[in-house]
Amino acid sequence: MSLTFRYATPEDAACLRALIERAYRGEEAARGWTHEANLLELPRTRDGEIEELIADPDNAFVLAEEAGELIACALLSREGDDAYFGMFSVRPDRQAGGVGRAMLAECERRARERFSARAMVMTVIHLRDELIAYYERRGYARTGDTKPFPFDLVPGEKRRDFHLVWLRKEL
């Protein structure tokens, strides 16, 4: 595996959106282990959202590529003195092979570099025990804080009995 990393540009928006949808929703996503396809079924992103995030200087999409092909992405957002980590997407056929671990480490480095972040924070659906355990093995800890899932902003739920938990890692 020979990954290269870079920040997204506006020209990357369509490819980013396709990767995010591929990793989170639908039949292909369900073959991976990080999906939400059993909980939510409509698109993960809305029209124009990726472009808006790329244009905002308090956000940065980090891309992982191999031989010029997009393999993974994640969004870093300034969150006070911390960086928020979200929209983490690895191509389903490349999951469980070290890409995610490399991507997470690169995002932590870039959060320190770009935002002078002292910690990285994220939210995860509380039912995703395997995913939470993945982050805990990489030094993230539950903060004890929770947040309602934004059903009004993210439609298409198959059930409504879940919320988000906050995870944090000092950088």
Q: In this predicted model, what pLDDT tens digit does every residue of 110-145 receive, in sequence order?
A: 999 999 999 999 999 898 899 999 999 999 999 999
Of residues 21 and 44, more confidently modeled: 21
36-56 pLDDT, tens digit per residue, is 666 666 567 888 999 999 999
Domain boundaries, the chain: 4-170
The C-alpha atoms of residue 11 and residue 21 are separated, in whole angstroms, by 17
The C-alpha atoms of residue 166 and residue 84 are separated, in whole angstroms, by 10
* Run of H or E including 131: helix 129-137
Give the amino acid at 61. F
Q: Return the ∠ at Cα 26 (arms to 42 and 94), rounded to 5°.
A: 130
Q: Which CATH architecture has domain 4-170?
A: 3-Layer(aba) Sandwich (3.40)
* Run of H or E including 104: helix 99-115
81-96 pLDDT, tens digit per residue, is 999 999 999 998 888 8
Of residues 53 and 153, more confidently modeled: 53
pLDDT score of 21 more than 90: no
Look up the pTM and report it. 0.89
Per-residue pLDDT, 35: 57
- How many Cβ atoms are within 10 Å of 67's Cβ, its own excluded? 8
Of residues 101 and 158, more confidently modeled: 101
Per-residue pLDDT, 146: 94
